[in-house]
């Protein structure tokens, strides 16, 4: 296998960045759409059904047929997908209002900070162990070179992820502050307190996989957690998984911890004064953060890109190359399926439970989650000492 | 060393959870509410004055538009107050139908309360589940009187028309499924840890305070006072109905939730009894074309879903419109307990308190 020169590897990295950005901007709108639809079906309604060809073409014909039979058409699932494009267009075309008394520079920089911090985290996430695909030989300049499954294969990947994720908090706090308005200020204060508190149990719950896998590199960690332990990491780390997921919900400001934007208390929280694409950036950042949390959860606790737990992966390994030719890279698909499952859990939880009060959120973090994560860490250390 | 200031903030009049155009002026110390003053009047239309300039028959249309979530209950109070004023006896069948529709209305109102209250606290699925059942009740309203929300369901002296054909079937279908729907809501909320954390001990209002402030309805009953006008001063056909008045002693938001849920069960019971014991006969008393009042005054109170709704009417000799008309709106009186409930709590608690009071600004501002 040829060894790429520095400039060639830079080009390859650019290709990877492009792929990750495409992944993010495909997954995020689909999550938004899925949220509408899944919530809709949880709540016995249809979700978004407009802006699509519900009346013309084959779908329209079948839809009409099912309505006539007195049933809700299955295909109405897909109606509303063009609404995603319409949504983005609306955000871009909307008037961008700048409050008169806002701190203009910070007001502008805050959404960008949130968005950038959310996307950049993906640099250290490894989607596929080893090589993702090899570029065809006709490809100019970098033909025949392998493209690995993650952008940056750095040995402090987890630190990078946690560090950058905490930069995202600044976006929210600054947005609340710069708006120079009371509701955003309250939202910003809440998020400052909440996200700083939840970073502690989040980091502690991620420390358990670090202990178990003796690495900080995302790819290595997910490989060792998936192959070195029975039932991926779930058997020894089920507690850790649940704790991590709880903290992840809090870090991404999702129900039941959506304090900073608690719609029914603070109108829209920290982004009350934002409109247009600046608001869109916060919106996107929230969903990208959800994807990041889901990626970490599936990478560390759900076996990452591996299909089967209990050491059964060896059984399917011979068939994976064939699978490859039908579908695409199997590992990437397993990984993405797990991410989607976690994203579904997000929506599911949102449809099921109410919101905590602000002081209760804090007491959950400090009184319950931190002791439990410490206990979980001990558990992981014990597993490490005696089992692995 | 640090300057310590309280922040003044307006909750409303445009706010997602003030249930209309209520404005609450809050003073906050951090997130703790130190001072809370509800400010009303954004929806004032002068209903009382308008009614004084219209005939007794026309006035009912305006009662729909006070508490638009429980229009039938308002209609009932208006019709009965007028019947008291003119000494009209309503046929028994009309009484039964009125009672039944009034209880349906209580269900609809409590369902919309449950929906919005749960949504305020963040449980958005309950919102749509409750609206699903409310839809059936509105369909029945439509079948009975042609309109869904602002019903103008009754006439002074009885009903305009008898029940439409097929109405009984609709009612039985609804009653058959409603208990399981209630269970569905309770499964989502009753033992939900977050729901309990958000409601137990929140927005307390003890019996003494409640009585001192004239609070009525489920808020009072959740403080342990079994005062229900349907039992205390029976009207319509309530004297012949067998039902209980659910009470709790905790006097907090959770207790009010449980009381209202139990009330819905009792309402379903009353509806069943009305259907079973529905008498035959006319639905309208013999009335003159134009009602001319004597010098007379009445106060008639009925148990609306939100509490005691009282109509005070003064008649003038030979006049076909009331000389003076006043409404004792339950929401208006109940709202004055909001500062007592909210002060000392957090912002999230005032949202729960507004929800648990079950206010409708249409009747508060009138």
- Does any CB of chain B come closer than 8 Å to the CB of residue A267? yes
Both tokens of A204, joined, read: 């502690």
Average pLDDT value for residue range A103-132: 83
* Cross-strand partners of B325: B313
Where is B261: in which H helix or E strand?
Answer: helix B253-276
Which residues of chain A are within 8 Å of residue B7 when distances are taken between CB atoms?
Answer: 182
* Interchain CB distance below 8 Å, A265 and B351: yes
pLDDT of residue A326: 47
Taking the CA of residue B36 and the nearest CA in chain A, the distance in Å comes to 15
- Does any CB of chain A come closer than 8 Å to the CB of residue B196? no
Which residues of chain A are within 8 Å of residue B197 when distances are taken between CB atoms?
Answer: 356-357, 360
* Distant-in-sequence, close-in-space partners of A236: CB < 8 Å, separation ≥ 6: A212, A229, A230, A379, A380, A383, A387
pLDDT reading at A311 higher than 60: no
Percent pLDDT > 70 in chain B is 100
pLDDT for B56-95, tens place per residue?
888 888 888 888 888 898 999 999 998 888 888 888 889 9
Residue A146 phi, psi (nearest 5): -80, 145
Judge contact between B131 and B148, C-beta under 8 A: no
pLDDT reading at A329 higher than 70: no
Measured between alpha carbons, how far is A359 from A265 in angstroms, rounded to an integer?
A: 14
* Interchain CB distance below 8 Å, B16 and A263: yes
Which residues of chain B are within 8 Å of residue A368 when distances are taken between CB atoms?
Answer: none
Both tokens of A135, joined, read: 């570029």
pLDDT of residue A270: 80
ipTM: 0.74
CB atoms within 10 A of CB A56: 9
pLDDT, greater one: B291 or B352 = B352
Measured between alpha carbons, how far is B239 from A44 in angstroms, rounded to an integer?
A: 39
Which residues of chain A are within 8 Å of residue B125 when distances are taken between CB atoms?
Answer: 42-43, 351-352
Both tokens of A110, joined, read: 């805050």
Nearest to A355 among B16, B121, B189 (CB): B121
Burial of residue A357 (CB within 10 Å: 0-12, 13-18, 19+) is: buried
- Does any CB of chain A come closer than 8 Å to the CB of residue B121? yes
- Does any CB of chain B come closer than 8 Å to the CB of residue A245? no
Size of interface A-B (CB pairs under 8 A): 80
CA-closest candidate to residue B127, choices B137, B136, B114: B114
Could you give the angle at the alpha carbon of B215 between the alpha carbons of B209 and B217, nearest 5°?
Answer: 130
Taking the CA of residue B238 and the nearest CA in chain A, the distance in Å comes to 36
pLDDT for B149-172, tens place per residue?
888 888 888 888 888 888 888 898
* Interchain CB distance below 8 Å, B17 and A183: no
HEC readout, chain A: CCCCCHHHHHHHHHHHHHHHHHHHHHHHHHHHHHHHHHHHHHCCCCCCCCCCCCCCHHHHHHHHHHHHCCCCCHHHHCCCCHHHHHHHHHHHHCCCCCCCCCCHHHHHHHHHHHHHHHHHHHHHCEEEEEEEEECCCCCCCCCCCEEEEECCCCCCHHHHHHHHHHHHHHHHHHHHHHCCCHHHHHHHHHHHHHHHHHHHHHHHHHHHHHHHHCCCCHHHHHHHHHHCCCCCCHHHHHHHHHHHHHHHHHHCCCCCCCCCCCHHHHCCHHHCCCCHHHHHHHHHHHHHHHHHHHHHHHHHCCCCCCCCCCCCHHHHHHHHHHHHHHHCCHHHHHHHHHHHHHHHHHHHHHHHCCCCCHHHHHHHHHHHHHHHHHHHHHHHHHHHHHCC
How far lies B258's CA from each of B13, B69, B107, B353, in Å?
A: 29, 20, 14, 15
Tell me the Cα Rg of chain A: 22
Residue B11 phi, psi (nearest 5): -95, 100
pLDDT, greater one: B13 or A57 = B13
- Does any CB of chain A come closer than 8 Å to the CB of residue B198? yes
- Does any CB of chain B come closer than 8 Å to the CB of residue A346? no
pTM of the model: 0.82
Residue A374 phi, psi (nearest 5): -65, -45
Judge contact between B18 and B36, C-beta under 8 A: no
Measured between alpha carbons, how far is B29 from B31 in angstroms, rounded to an integer?
A: 6
pLDDT for A221-252, tens place per residue?
777 777 766 666 667 778 888 889 888 888 88
How far lies A152's CA from each of A113, A157, A161, B325, in Å?
A: 21, 8, 12, 77
* Interchain CB distance below 8 Å, B121 and A39: no
pLDDT reading at B148 higher than 80: yes
Taking the CA of residue B352 and the nearest CA in chain A, the distance in Å comes to 10
* Interchain CB distance below 8 Å, A44 and B124: no
- Does any CB of chain A come closer than 8 Å to the CB of residue B122? yes
Measured between alpha carbons, how far is A14 from B169 in angstroms, rounded to an integer?
A: 68
Mean pLDDT score across all residues of chain B: 87
Nearest CA in chain A to B202: A357
- Does any CB of chain B come closer than 8 Å to the CB of residue A94? no
pLDDT for B99-132, tens place per residue?
999 999 999 999 999 998 888 888 888 888 888 8
Which residues of chain A are within 8 Å of residue B9 when distances are taken between CB atoms?
Answer: 182-183, 186
Nearest to B128 among A43, A186, A355 (CB): A43
* Distant-in-sequence, close-in-space partners of B7: CB < 8 Å, separation ≥ 6: A182, B27, B28, B29
Burial of residue B317 (CB within 10 Å: 0-12, 13-18, 19+) is: exposed
Q: Is B151 helix (H, G, I), strand (E, B) or coil?
A: coil
pLDDT, greater one: A71 or B303 = B303
* Interchain CB distance below 8 Å, A354 and B128: no
pLDDT of residue A58: 62
Burial of residue A70 (CB within 10 Å: 0-12, 13-18, 19+) is: exposed
Measured between alpha carbons, how far is B267 from B72 in angstroms, rounded to an integer?
A: 14
Judge contact between B63 and B48, C-beta under 8 A: no
Average pLDDT value for residue range A177-189: 84
* Interchain CB distance below 8 Å, B197 and A356: yes
pLDDT for A157-181, tens place per residue?
888 888 888 888 888 888 888 888 8
pLDDT reading at A73 higher than 80: no
Strands A146-150 and B7-11: what pairing? unpaired
Tell me the Cα Rg of chain B: 21
* Interchain CB distance below 8 Å, B197 and A267: no
pLDDT of residue A308: 63
Measured between alpha carbons, how far is A166 from A189 in angstroms, rounded to an integer?
A: 15
* Distant-in-sequence, close-in-space partners of B186: CB < 8 Å, separation ≥ 6: B261
Taking the CA of residue B153 and the nearest CA in chain A, the distance in Å comes to 30
Which residues of chain B are within 8 Å of residue A256 when distances are taken between CB atoms?
Answer: 122, 194
CA-closest candidate to residue B318, choices B340, B349, B287, B296: B296
Percent pLDDT > 70 in chain A is 80
pLDDT for B189-247, tens place per residue?
888 888 888 888 888 888 888 899 989 989 999 988 888 898 888 888 888 888 889 99
Residue B320 phi, psi (nearest 5): -100, 5
pLDDT reading at A35 higher than 50: yes
CA-closest candidate to residue B57, choices B160, B129, B165: B160
């Amino acid at each position: 296998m040829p060894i790429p020169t520095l400039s060639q590897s830079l080009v390859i990295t650019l290709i990877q960045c492009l792929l990750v950005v495409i992944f993010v901007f495909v997954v995020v709108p689909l999550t938004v759409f899925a949220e509408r639809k899944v919530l809709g079906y949880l709540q016995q309604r249809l979700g978004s059904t407009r802006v699509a060809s519900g009346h013309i073409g084959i779908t329209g014909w079948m839809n009409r047929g099912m309505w006539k039979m007195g049933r809700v058409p299955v295909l109405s699932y897909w109606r509303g997908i063009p609404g995603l494009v319409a949504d983005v267009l609306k955000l871009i075309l909307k008037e961008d209002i700048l409050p008169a008394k806002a701190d203009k520079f910070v007001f502008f920089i805050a959404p960008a900070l949130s968005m950038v911090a959310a996307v950049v985290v993906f640099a250290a996430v490894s989607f596929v162990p080893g090589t993702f695909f090899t570029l065809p030989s006709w490809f100019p300049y970098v033909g025949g070179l392998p493209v690995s499954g993650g952008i940056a294969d750095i040995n402090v990947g987890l630190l990078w992820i946690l560090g950058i994720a905490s930069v995202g908090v600044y976006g929210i706090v600054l947005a609340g502050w710069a708006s120079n308005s009371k509701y955003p200020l309250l939202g910003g204060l809440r998020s400052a307190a909440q996200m700083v508190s939840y970073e502690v149990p989040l980091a502690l719950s991620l420390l358990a996989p670090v202990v178990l896998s003796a690495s900080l590199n995302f790819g290595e960690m997910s490989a060792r957690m998936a192959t070195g332990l029975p039932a991926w990491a779930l058997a020894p780390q089920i507690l850790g998984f649940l704790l991590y997921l709880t903290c992840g919900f809090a870090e991404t400001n999702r129900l039941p911890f959506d304090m900073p934007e608690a719609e029914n208390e603070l109108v829209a929280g920290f982004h009350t004064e934002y409109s247009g694409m600046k608001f869109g950036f916060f919106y996107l950042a929230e969903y990208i953060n959800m994807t990041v949390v889901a990626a970490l959860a599936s990478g560390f606790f759900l076996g990452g890109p591996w299909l089967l737990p209990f050491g059964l992966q060896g059984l399917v390994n011979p068939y994976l190359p064939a699978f490859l030719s039908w579908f695409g890279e199997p590992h990437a698909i397993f990984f993405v399926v797990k991410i989607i499952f976690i994203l579904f859990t997000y929506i599911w939880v949102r449809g099921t439970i109410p919101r905590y009060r602000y002081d209760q959120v804090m007491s959950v973090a400090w009184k319950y989650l931190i002791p439990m994560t410490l206990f979980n860490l001990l558990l992981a250390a014990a597993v490490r000492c005696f089992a692995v | 060393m640090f300057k310590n200031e309280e922040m003044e903030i307006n909750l409303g009049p445009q706010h997602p959870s003030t249930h209309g155009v209520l404005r609450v002026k809050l003073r906050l110390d951090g997130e703790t509410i130190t001072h809370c003053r509800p400010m009303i009047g954004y929806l004032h239309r002068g209903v009382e004055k308008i009614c004084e300039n219209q005939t007794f028959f026309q006035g009912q249309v305006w009662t729909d538009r006070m508490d638009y979530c429980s229009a039938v209950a308002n209609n009932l109070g208006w019709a009965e107050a007028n019947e008291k004023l003119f000494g009209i006896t309503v046929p028994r069948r009309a009484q039964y139908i009125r009672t039944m529709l009034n209880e349906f209305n209580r269900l609809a109102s409590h369902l919309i309360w449950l929906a919005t209250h749960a949504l305020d606290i963040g449980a958005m699925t309950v919102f749509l589940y409750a609206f699903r059942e409310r839809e059936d009740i509105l369909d029945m309203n439509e079948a009975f009187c042609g309109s869904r929300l602002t019903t103008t369901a009754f006439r002074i002296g009885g009903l305009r028309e008898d029940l439409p054909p097929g109405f009984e079937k609709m009612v039985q279908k609804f009653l058959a499924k409603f208990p399981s729907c209630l269970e569905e809501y309770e499964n989502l909320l009753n033992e939900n840890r977050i729901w309990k954390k958000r409601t137990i001990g929140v927005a307390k209002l003890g019996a003494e305070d409640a009585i001192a402030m004239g609070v009525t309805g489920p808020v009072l009953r959740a403080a342990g006072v079994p005062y229900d006008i349907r039992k205390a001063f029976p009207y319509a056909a309530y004297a012949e109905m067998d039902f209980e008045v659910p009470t709790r002693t905790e006097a907090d938001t959770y207790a009010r939730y449980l009381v209202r849920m139990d009330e819905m069960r009792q309402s379903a019971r009353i509806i069943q009894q009305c259907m079973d014991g529905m008498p035959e006969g006319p639905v309208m008393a013999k009335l003159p074309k134009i009602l001319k009042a004597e010098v007379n005054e009445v106060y008639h109170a009925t148990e609306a879903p939100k509490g005691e709704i009282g109509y005070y009417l003064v008649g003038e000799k030979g006049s076909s419109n009331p000389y003076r008309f006043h409404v004792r709106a339950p929401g208006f009186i109940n709202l004055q307990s909001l500062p007592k409930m909210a002060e000392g709590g957090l912002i999230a608690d005032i949202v729960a308190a507004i929800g648990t009071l079950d206010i409708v600004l249409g009747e508060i501002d009138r």
